[in-house]
Amino acid sequence: MKKEVKKVVLAYSGGLDTSIILKWLQDEYRCEVVTFTADIGQGEEVEPARTKALELGIKPENIFIDDLREEFVRDYVYPMFRANAIYEGEYLLGTSIARPLIAKRQVEIAKITGADGVSHGATGKGNDQVRFEMGYLGQDATLTIIAPWREWDLNSRESLLKYAEEHGITIEKKGKKSPYSMDANLLHISYEGGILEDPSAEPEESMWLWSVAPEKAPDEAEYITLTYKNGDPTALNGTTLSPATMLAELNRLGGKHGIGRVDIVENRFVGMKSRGCYETPGGTIMLKAHRAIESLCLDREEAHLKDELMPRYAKLVYNGFWFAPEREMLQAAIDKTQENVEGEVRLKLYKGNVTVVGRRSDTSLFNPEYCTFEEDEVYNQKDAAGFIKLNALRFIIEGKARHNNT
């Protein structure tokens, strides 16, 4: 039995799925609909969503189109990269990290407009339904959540197109439709479905939109320098850039050199495996550079503990627990480690590879006097004998005990 809802805030792109959801909400729930379109750097015009919403009867005051690019990178991407977060060894969490921000803004708009419900276009098979709804519930559990894909019987593209035709919903036809399900923002673009549902099939080269093939990248390497402060990149080649501008420029450079492509089979939170391809050129560069500057600035045990915490942190982000107290607790610990992570990293970009070729920092813990292979006056090599013997003491005791029992 459907719960009565008077006004609902819909995460709206203006595409086929969300346009049908908009009409379906009006017909099935008899409710007023507020549309929210987020610009998080997906590379498409967002203003056409306003025209489409107006065509479907949405009041002008109920149409929200927000530029969230700076907030997205500053408050979501950068904190995640301070953790060096990577899921199952390869996925840089581009889709995962965008959902909490969209959910948070939806709830804020619900409060502004007096809405009592929120809705999204995620299917009942994927991770996004969890990420959106954990975000909603973490902000305001009183809102009614409507997930049309878990309610309706429109389970194919053909049925969606038929519904659109029957209800007078205009479908934009801009040439040949991509065979892939894609999601893009400033951090990445993802590809699923189509031939990718066969894990043994190699993706078509034409699928990749952001990067050239590594073998077709420039034959000459390009050197760049990233400046870091408190664990975040602040300048590129000496020029200070805002977070969103920084990531956009690193995407351009990485894409130019064929950097950031991955093809993985990942374990979804809901239980099944999924094959996906991702382009994350700027993020790949940032991860390499951040680990390089940390190698100078973090204490050994601090760095090792941080690496141990990272998979847990990445799993929380992937599964939709961005607003969970345990993620915030981990973030506080991670951010504490970044207080002295500052300096410059020099990188070489060449045919799909990012290579660190230099790093320097005024807060560096690297001390040539101690690690030199030449003569020094600060380290007594004889001290190592006691150090080794104390660390091996338990082995010595165990060995004696075994010898006495044989």
Catalytic residue among 17, 75, 140, 307, which? 17
Catalytic residue among 66, 75, 140, 181, which? 181
Distance CA(243)–CA(71), nearest Å, equals 9
Specify whether the CB–CB gap between 234 and 227 falls below 8 A: yes
Distance CA(297)–CA(294), nearest Å, equals 5
Catalytic residue among 13, 69, 105, 128, which? 128
Q: 259: Cβ–Cβ under 8 A, 6 or more apart, which residues? A: 211, 214, 253, 281, 284, 285, 349, 352, 353, 354
Task: Extract the runs of DSSP E, i.e. beta strands, from 193-329.
Answer: 222-229, 232-236, 239-240, 261-267, 273-279
Distance CA(261)–CA(210), nearest Å, equals 9
For residue 128, indicate whether it is catalytic. Answer: yes
For residue 232, indicate whether it is catalytic. Answer: no
Q: 198: Cβ–Cβ under 8 A, 6 or more apart, which residues? A: 275
Catalytic residue among 99, 105, 327, 359, which? 99
For residue 335, indicate whether it is catalytic. Answer: no
Distance CA(83)–CA(73), nearest Å, equals 14
For residue 116, indicate whether it is catalytic. Answer: no
The residues annotated with a catalytic role in the active site are 17, 99, 128, 181
